[in-house]
Each structure stands twice: as C-alpha cells, then as structure tokens.
C-alpha cells in the first residue's frame, strides 16, 4: 500500500490519478472530510488527520510501504517533514519520495528553501530509503497569480525582472512521481524536474497575447508590492516565503532545463503554450 500526502495540491492530485490508472492501492492523507468523501468516490482509501500530530502520522503509516510526501508551504513545513521522516522509520516504511524545491539548501536565506534543505537532510539521515524530487514554479499557478490581471487589464505583474523560469506542469511532476513510486532503480537518487524551456515573463506575456488574440504585457513590481498582493491569498509567513522564492528565481535559480520528465516517463514535458491553451478560459474576459 502507498500513501500520498498533499492530495489537494496539483501534484498530489496528479500522483493519485497516475496511481489509480495503474490500479495501485493508495491511501490519501487528508485533513477535510469533504475531500475524503470525494476521493473515496474515486476509489481512494483515505485517512483523515493532521500532518503535524504524531498520533495521526503513526496511524496513517500503518501497513504502508511507500510514501509520497508533500507538505504545504507553511511555517510548519520543516517540523512536519522531520516528524514524518522519524515515524516512517519507526513504521518500517520501505521507501519515501520527498517533493522538494530546486534551490533547497539549509544555508538559503529563503525560508522555504532553507526549510526544504533541512527537511531533505532529515530524510537522508532517517534510515528510510528515499528519493528527492525537486520542482520549479508550477504552471498551475498561472491562474491564481495572473488570471485576474490578465482578464481585467491585460497585464502580468511579478517581481521577476528579466528572470528566466522553466515553468513545469504539475501533471508532469505527478507522472515522474508515479514512476519513482512504482518502479525500481530510483532509490537514493535526487531529481530536478523542470519544463522544456526557460522563459521570461515578457515571453510568457507574448504567449498569452498570441493565444488570447489580445495584447498582454508584463510589468515588474517590487517585492513589497508582491508580498502585499500575496497576503490576500496566503498567511504572512507563506507570502514572505513565496516572495523570497521569487527572489531566488530573479537571481537565476529558475533558469534550468533538465531532461528528467522525458527520461523517466518517456514523454516530452508540457510547454507553457500548450498548458495555457488548455486552460485559456481561465484568462479570458468574462
């Protein structure tokens, strides 16, 4: 039996779909009864609990051989993953795949990359066979970040200057994760999963312009303006963590293209243009 956390996230949902398609027995760790109900209707076994509570984690891991660990971007991320690494060892889990961030480093000034770096260390030293899967900015973030400003003003706003980012489709990450979980030969490896091209926000705006048949422009904003906007979506810790991650991208951290999706899954990663065309209604004027 496999267990997947973070199942309401884009990647977690994609991992579940991939495992169900392979008819792999899977347990989803969920926090809300409404989510559990929907997943059970799809044939997923669910465990209702709190990832920060030791007793919940212990019970959820009973009978589990493999784990895909996704933690929310919150101030609890490091404590959660240290707890899961410890309890996975105690439960005799045979394999744990941790979803991390490209740039994860215990020495990073970004709280998010610092936490992920330390969490990676906790998993490496836990005694549980593991794989680290690091990701970049998900294409699924285009809508929550840009849909309103594109549809209302024809604008993309971000504190990214001319940084290049290899945006990745969470569905591709989910496909890679499913291969890691269900096939042999990936243990003790570390993978950095990106999209097929590193592009600037100006180039992203050009893609939107072409597909929407209306001008879309990009304007750089300050970190302070970005953090203020993010406070409408996230907690203060998370908003600050996201802005510092974008600072890492602005310094060149997102300008990376790897062949991992193709090599692991056998298919080419989704391009930004393809993803946007599939979700074009989200960005059109109502």
- The predicted-structure confidence for 16-68, as pLDDT tens digits, reads as follows 999 999 999 999 999 999 999 999 998 899 999 999 999 999 999 999 999 99
Query: What per-residue confidence (pLDDT) applies to 109?
Result: 92
* 261 found inside a domain: no
Does residue 41 sit within a domain? yes
Please write the tens of the pLDDT for every residue from 197-216. Answer: 999 999 999 999 999 999 99
Domain with residue 58: its CATH number is 3.40.50.720
pLDDT above 70: percentage of residues in the chain: 100
- Element of type H or E holding 46: strand 45-48
Evaluate if residue 286 carries a pLDDT over 80: no
Q: Is residue 274 part of a domain?
A: yes
Q: How far is CA 25 from the centre of its chain?
A: 23
| Parent domain of 65 | 2-136+170-193
Report how far Cα 242 is from the mean position of its chain's Cα atoms.
13
Query: Each residue of 22-44: b (16+ CB within 10 Å) or e?
Result: eeeebbbbbeeeeebeebeeeeb
Average pLDDT over residues 135-148: 95
Do 38 and 78 sit in the same domain of this protein?
yes
pTM over 0.85: yes
Number of domains in the chain: 2
The whole-number average pLDDT for the span 83-88 is 98
CB atoms within 10 A of CB 91: 20
């Amino acid at each position: 039996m496999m267990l997947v956390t973070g199942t309401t996230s884009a990647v977690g949902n994609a991992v579940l779909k991939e495992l169900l398609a392979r008819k792999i027995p899977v347990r989803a760790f969920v926090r809300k009864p409404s989510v559990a109900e929907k997943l059970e209707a799809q044939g997923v076994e669910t465990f209702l609990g709190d990832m920060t509570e030791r007793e919940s984690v212990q019970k959820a891991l009973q009978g589990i051989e493999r784990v895909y660990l996704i933690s929310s971007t919150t101030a609890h991320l490091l404590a959660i993953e240290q707890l899961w690494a410890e309890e996975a060892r105690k439960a005799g889990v045979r394999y744990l795949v941790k979803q991390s961030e490209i740039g994860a480093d215990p020495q990073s000034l970004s709280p998010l990359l610092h936490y992920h770096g330390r969490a990676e260390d906790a998993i490496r030293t836990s005694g549980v066979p593991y794989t680290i899967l690091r990701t970049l900015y998900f294409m699924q973030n285009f809508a929550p970040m840009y849909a309103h400003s594109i549809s209302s003003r024809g604008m993309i706003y971000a504190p990214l200057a001319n940084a290049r980012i290899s945006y990745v489709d969470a569905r591709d990450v989910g496909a890679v994760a499913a291969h890691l979980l269900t096939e042999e030969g990936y243990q003790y490896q570390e993978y950095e999963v990106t999209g097929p091209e590193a592009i600037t926000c100006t180039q992203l705006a050009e893609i939107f312009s072409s597909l929407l048949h209306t001008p879309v422009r990009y304007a750089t904003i300050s970190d302070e303006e970005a953090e203020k906007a993010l406070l409408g979506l996230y907690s203060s810790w998370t908003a600050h963590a996201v802005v510092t991650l974008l600072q890492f991208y602005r310094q060149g951290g997102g300008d990376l293209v790897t062949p991992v999706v193709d090599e692991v899954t056998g298919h080419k990663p989704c391009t930004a243009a393809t993803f946007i065309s599939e979700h074009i209604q989200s960005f059109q004027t109502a």
